[in-house]
Amino acid sequence: MSNEAVLHTPSSYAVHDDHAHDHHHHETFITKYVFSQDHKMISKQFLITGMVWALIGGLLSVLFRLQLGYPDSKFPWLQDLLGKFWVEDGRITAQAYYALVTTHGTVLIFFVLTAGLSGTFANFLIPLQIGARDMASPFMNMLSYWFFFAASCVMFSSLFVETGPFSGGWTAYPPLSALGQASPGSKTGMDLWLISMALFVVSTLLGGLNYVATVLNMRTKGMSMTRLPLTIWALFFTAVLGILTFPVLFSGFILLIFDRNFGTSFYLSDLYVNGTVLPNEGGSAILYQHLFWFLAHPEVYIVMLPAMGMVSEILSINSRKPIFGYIAMVGSLFAITCLSLLVWAHHMFVTGLNPFLGSIFVLFTLLIAVPSAIKVFNWLTTLWRGNIRFTPAMMFAIGFVSLFISGGLTGIWLGNSALDIHLHDTYFNIAHFHLVMGVASFFGMFAGVYHWYPKMYGRQLNNTLAYIHFWVTMIGAYLIFWPMHYEGLAGMPRRYYDYSIWESFKQFAELNRFISTVVIIVFATQFLFLFNFFYSIFKGRKATNPNPWGANTLEWTTPIHPGHGNWPGEIPEVHRWAYDYGKDDREFIPQTEPVGANESHH
Amino acid sequence: MTTTTYLVIAVVALFFLVIFQISKAAEYVSVLKGEEQSRKQTNKVNAFLMLGFMILGLFGVWYCNHLLYHKTLLPLESASVQGERVDSMLWVTIMITGSVFIITQILLFWFAFRYQEKENRKVFFFPHSNKLEVLWTVVPAITLTILIIIGLRNWFYFTGDAPDNAMKIEITGRQFGWIFRYPGKDKTFGKKYYKLIDDADNSLGLIWKDNAAMNLKDDPATHDDIITESTVYVVKNKPVKLIIGSRDVIHDVGIAQFRLKMDAVPGIPTTMWFTPKFTTKEMQEKTGNPNFQYEISCDQMCGNGHYSMRGVIEVVTQEEYDMWMIKQKPKYFAAFPDKDPANKKDSTVTATAVTPK
Ligand code: HEM
Ligand SMILES: [Cu+2]
Ligand SMILES: [Cu+2]
């Protein structure tokens, strides 16, 4: 039967109105690939833009690690490549170093692990897994991507301004970020940074509102909330968190823009900068930190939750066994969402915060470790007595759990204010959040890409490249970040351009060289992934099995190349939860299969 | 670019090319051999590697500790009384999180290896168990409660009031250095106002003369205040209370050997107190490093010179401190040489002598 014939069987004709978008009007290149309103295309746009940013962000870290690892070496060729502003006398300048670190942090957290992760998988999976033709508002969805794209352009342009990009750290604390005279990076670079971030907030809100509306309203028949796959729950809570917190960040940025440009004193007081007395009195620099962390702590969970959701799904599918404790998994996602709104000041223990207030934040911060622990134990139990298939996605999912444990446990150290007073802003902190958030979320993202690639492009990735990619990245991640705990335990501060003048910290020169070398290798290995990804879009082996992993969820009931509207015929009805693997001697039972008469209950 | 650079690029490119070719070939072979079979083979290899990763990983954890432990602050006892508490808490936390780390990582990779796909394995359909879930909600909750209690007791001790006999020193951050002020004989810090700051002679903006325009009155308490830059002297076993401020952006007073730090925020003074246990000289012996110094590191990003914002705390005995203090002159006399009694005496003895500028 030809494709057309499948499309126009009588049953699909009956629901013609349901899929008005389906294959009827002609799509031009522009509407199909550029201003597309198809959630699948938008998700690929987010993914590829995210990958470009990941590449840039990674490259920036290679550059600043060159400085940290080889502070005495000269790189004249870098100077030829980048010019005087960045490299002088063959050495990366301090100004450039801080610009690199700042841009690295900003784009990885916001552009890659927020837009690239949520944007890709919320867009791709929500309609496909809940059984919807598209997002609630495809147009808003398209706008969400284009605001992100605009934000990207502005951020990218800041790399080329004369005074350099913003260089005060991704947290952008005023007064440093408010005053051009305090640092060259706080001049035009900071204006562009703020514009870019403001556009980014708009993008996130447009996307987030859409995700929430779609999950709440557009589930197919039978898809009750308790039958949702955990990916959807995770993406849903992520969107809720974003909607609640990004506006607060936005307000913080607005006040900062006012302080920078219109002479207000929200954050400024009693300043003598660069030889001049400033008129501002009565502001509070700490106010900004409250506004910032009210987003930026939940932000780390915005980065984490989608990865957790996808990992739950992938672990269960490839263990051929139901996820353990579905309700507890949803409950812990919910608990994390709520608690993450109540812990922001744990980033501010040493700002002179009222000690009593600090103690409340200690309490909530350590409380959040409980739902995190539940998740870890549930993942472990999901593996237990399974029948595990090590697909590339599964490898990354297992890697995720390992990294999440390693990084999560040190959160218990930092969350206890009396220890944080020692470890705050040292390399211990860098190790903690890179393991738990940076690398772990990246692993979640890789797992997602490897798992859903056949659905996205109808082709398969090369497995050998995928396994090499996994093992080098996994080993490399630990080699890079594990030893940093020791630097932190020596009190070595973060965001230092050069440690050689410090009697207390210079003993790590050799270690820093080692770490930088591993960074270069791991970075190079990512090209295996990039190559695999782009090569396979065009030349990968064609997927022949519409359900290659033997999964239960709805996206695998669509054709190998789903059109705009996803299902050619009627949207399937759902009869069960997504995790009937290994039940009653059946390897898997898709959600669309009605519950049998003698099926066992659990 | 040099030829070596080109060479390196060529070698790397070649290396990648080889990997791609091998990967492509592996794909063809698997298709020829039967995909299901080669998938099963790869599965075994990866299961084995998981186990290998765990074993090598645990060894690596030990080896890393072996290489780096002595470079941290942990082998030496803390150099402040407060830091002892940080350390003891740190050890309890290491023990707890360390055991959880080892147990969960072993379970993770062991399960991965043990339950790898096998022809006839029947998976255990195990969707939930209330007993287990309650268990791993309650046990972490209790453990964390213990850590919270220990932590908060220390926290309130660290952030509580300094003892009455504490020596008070003001420390002010600026891009990129530290300014210290002792209250002088009257034991009170004179008033200051940031608009009077002048790097030439009044780096803190002390109010030491009337200023009608700003409606300020000379504060005599400023006249004996002693100001030093970059190095500060404190006395062994005597509590020190730092009053922390900043002139420009946010900095942070971090003293790793004392296990403490506190932000320096413009416009909002903060405090921190500690009791040093060993003099700098004693520490030089204890560490075996003749160059040892208690360094104040700025721990909050403050601009392009952040990494070089170094201060030194010289911990000395009471006698040494007194000797040093006697030699210090209030900053007031540098700004107003004619008010300096030393200068006055000079000028009365030899009226014609030219006082050096
Ligand atoms: C077990 C739960 C966790 C606890 C108790 C915890 C606690 C903390 C604390 C107290 C800090 C501040 C440390 C300092 O600045 O000195 C911190 C930093 C950080 N954490 Fe976590 N954390 C946890 C999990 C996570 C997760 C899941 C993520 C990310 C998804 C994350 C990402 C970060 C980031 C990005 C920072 C650095 C912020 C900066 O720039 O200073 N943490 N964590
Ligand atoms: Cu946080
Ligand atoms: Cu600093």
- The answer to whether the Cβ–Cβ distance between A418 and B289 falls below 8 Å is no
Give buried/exposed letters for A359-371 (b at 16+ CB in 10 A, else e). Answer: bebbbbbbbbbbb
Run of H or E including A178:
none
pTM: 0.92
Ligand 1: distance of its center to the CA of A216 in Å?
Answer: 31
Q: Is residue A6 scored above 80 in pLDDT?
A: no
Name the residue with the closest Cα to ligand 1, atom 3. A411
Percent of chain A with pLDDT over 90: 86
Nearest CA to ligand 1 atom 20: A433
In this structure, which amino acid lies at residue A14?
A
- Is the CB–ligand 1 distance for residue A134 below 6 Å? no
- Cis check for the bond before B176: say yes or no (omega within 30 of 0): yes
Q: Tell whether ligand 1 has an atom less than 6 A from the beta carbon of residue A300.
A: yes
CB contacts < 8 Å between A and B, how many?
A: 378
* Nearest one of A419, A508, A555 to A124, comparing CA atoms: A555
Which residues of chain B register pLDDT less than 70? Answer: 1, 344-357
CA of A540: how far to CAs of A534, A581, B36, in Å? 9, 29, 18
**Protein residue with its CA nearest to atom 34 in ligand 1:** A433
Question: CA Rg, chain B, in Å?
Answer: 32
Q: Closest ligand 1 atom, CA of A412?
A: 5
Using a CB cutoff of 5 Å, list residues around ligand 3, an ion: B 251, 298, 302, 306, 309
* Angstroms from B347 CA to nearest CA on chain A: 35
Segment (H or E) for B213: none
Six token digits for residue A296 = 């930026």
The rounded distance, in Å, linking the Cα atoms of A350 and A495 is 17
Q: Does an H or E element contain B231, and which?
A: strand B231-235
Instruction: Indicate if ligand 1 lies below 6 Å from the C-beta of A580.
Output: no
pLDDT band at A138 (very low <50, low <70, confident <90, very high): very high
For A346-398, the pLDDT digits (tens) are 999 999 999 999 999 999 999 999 999 999 999 999 999 999 999 999 999 99
C-alpha–C-alpha distance, residues A289 and A349, integer Å: 11
Whether B351 has its CB under 8 Å from any CB of chain A: the answer is no
Q: How many CB atoms lie within 10 A of CB A191?
A: 18
In this structure, chain B runs to a length of 357
Best CA proximity match to A232, nearest among A253, A216, A246? A216
Percentage of residues in chain A having pLDDT higher than 70? 96
What are the pLDDT digits (tens) for A270-323?
999 988 999 999 999 999 999 999 999 999 999 999 999 999 999 999 999 999
Q: For B26, name the nearest residue in chain A, comparing CA atoms only.
A: A464
Q: What is the pLDDT of residue B29?
A: 86
- Alpha-carbon span A245 to A252, nearest angstrom: 11
User: What is the CA(A73)–ligand 3 centre distance, in A?
Assistant: 25
**Per-chain mean pLDDT for chain A:** 91
Average pLDDT score over residue span A114-127: 95
Give the per-residue pLDDT at B32.
86
Token readout for B187 is 């034991």
User: Looking at the partner chain, which of A321, A467, A497 has a beta carbon nearest the beta carbon of B307?
Assistant: A497
Determine the residue among A78, A166, A416 to mutate to test chain B binding: the one whose Cβ has the most chain B Cβ atoms within 10 Å.
Answer: A416
pLDDT digits (tens, 9 = 90+) for B219-244: 999 999 999 998 999 999 999 999 99
CB contact under 8 A, A173 and B301: yes
Query: Taking 80 as the threshold, does the pLDDT of residue A124 lie above it?
Result: yes
Question: How would CATH label the architecture of A34-588?
Answer: Up-down Bundle (1.20)
Domain B167-339, second-level architecture: Sandwich (2.60)
Residue B330 distance to chain A (closest CA, Å): 23
Please work out whether the CB of residue A433 comes within 6 Å of at least one atom of ligand 1.
yes
Which residues of chain A have a CB within 8 Å of the CB of B117? 320, 387-390
- Residue-wise pLDDT tens digits, A174-197: 999 999 999 999 999 999 999 999
User: Which residues between 226 and 245 in chain B have a beta carbon less than 8 angstroms from any beta carbon of chain A?
Assistant: none
Q: How far is B335 from chain A (nearest CA, A)?
A: 18
Any atom of ligand 1 within 6 Å of the Cβ of A57 = no
Q: Where are the domains of chain A?
A: 34-588
CB contact under 8 A, B301 and A462: no
Among B107, B121, B302, the residue with its CB nearest the CB of A387 is: B121
Tell whether the model's pLDDT for residue A16 goes beyond 60.
Answer: no
Question: Cβ(B261)–Cβ(B252) under 8 Å?
Answer: yes
- Which residue has the CA at smallest separation from atom 42 of ligand 1? A433
Residue B277 · residue B256 · CB < 8 Å: no
Q: Does A319 sit in the ligand 1 pocket, CB within 6 Å?
A: no
Residues of B within 8 A of A94 (CB-CB) are 304-305, 307
User: Which tokens in the block code for residue A323?
Assistant: 């996820």
Specify the pLDDT at position B305: 94
Secondary structure (3-state) at A429: helix
Query: Would the CB of A436 count as within 6 Å of ligand 1?
Result: yes
Among the partner-chain residues B74, B85, B248, the one whose CB lies closest to the CB of A175 is B248
Q: Distance between CA A87 and CA A96 in Å, rounded?
A: 8
DSSP B246: E
Residue indicated by tokens 């978008």: A21
A252 pLDDT tier (thresholds 50, 70, 90)? very high
Which residue lies with its CA nearest to atom 40 of ligand 1? Answer: A171
Q: Give the ligand 1 atom nearest the CA of A408.
A: 1
Which tens digits make up the pLDDT trace of B63-111? 999 999 999 999 989 999 999 999 999 999 999 999 999 999 999 999 9
* Domain parsing of chain B, residue ranges: 167-339
Q: Over the stretch A544-595, which tens digit does the pLDDT of each residue have?
A: 999 999 999 999 999 999 988 899 989 999 999 999 999 888 899 999 999 8
Q: What is the pLDDT of residue A555?
A: 94
Vertex A335: Cα angle to A332 and A336 (nearest 5): 85
Asked whether A199 and A154 are in contact (CB, 8 A), the reply is yes
Residue nearest to atom 5 of ligand 1 (CA): A411
For residue A433, give the ligand nearest its CA. Answer: 1
Q: Give the pLDDT confidence of A445-496 residue by residue, as tens digits.
A: 999 999 999 999 999 999 999 999 999 999 999 999 999 999 999 999 999 9
Question: Residue with the nearest Cα to atom 32 of ligand 1?
Answer: A433
A368 lines ligand 1 (CB under 6 A): yes
Distance in Å, alpha carbon of B194 to nearest chain A alpha carbon: 6
Would an 8 Å CB–CB cutoff place B106 in contact with chain A? no
Alpha-carbon gap, residue B188 to B199, rounded angstroms: 23
**Cβ of A403 below 6 Å from ligand 1:** no
A425 vs B302: CA distance, rounded Å = 13
Please name the member of A409, A424, A499 whose beta carbon is closest to the beta carbon of B97: A409
Task: Report the candidate in A370, A597, A580 with the shortest Cα–Cα distance to residue B127.
Answer: A580
- Cβ neighbours of residue B219 closer than 8 Å, sequence gap 6 or more: B190, B191, B206, B207, B208
Residue A14 has pLDDT above 50, yes or no: no
- What pLDDT shows up at residue A5? 35
Mutation target among A270, A500, A520, A538 for the B interface, most CBs of B within 10 A: A270
Ligand having the closest approach to the CA of B309: 3
Distance CA B93, CA A144 (A): 44
* Cβ-defined contact of B136 to A377 (cutoff 8 Å): yes
Contact B151 A527 (CB under 8 A): no
C-alpha distance from residue B136 to each of A93, A335, A377, A383, B110 (Å): 50, 15, 7, 17, 20
Q: What pLDDT does residue B335 have?
A: 87
Asked if A409's CB is within 8 angstroms of B297's CB, the reply is: no
Question: Which of the four pLDDT bands, split at 50, 70 and 90, describes residue A7?
Answer: very low
End-to-end CA separation in angstroms for chain A? 40
Among all bound ligands, the one having the nearest atom to the CA of B296 is: 3
Cis peptide before B266 (omega within 30 of 0): no
For the segment A260-277, what is each residue's pLDDT rounded down to a tens digit? 999 999 999 999 998 899
Which atom from ligand 1 is nearest to the alpha carbon of A409?
Answer: 1
* Cβ pair A271:B97 closer than 8 A: no
* Poorest-pLDDT segment among A62-76, A416-430, A469-483: A62-76
Q: Tokens 């060729």 appear where?
A: A77
Beta carbons of B265 and A490 less than 8 Å apart: no
Q: How far is B253 from chain A, CA to nearest CA, in Å?
A: 10
Q: What angle do CA A31, A450, A206 make, to 5 degrees?
A: 45
B274 touching A (Cβ < 8 Å): no
| Contact check, Cβ <8 Å, A503/B293 | yes
Identity of residue A352: G
Instruction: Enumerate residues 6+ apart whose C-beta is below 8 A from A516.
Output: A65, A66, A68, A69, A70
Query: Measured from the CB, is residue A372 less than 6 Å from ligand 1?
Result: yes
Residues of chain A in contact with residue B306, where contact means CB-CB under 8 angstroms, are: 98, 495-497
Residue of B nearest to A325 (CA): B128
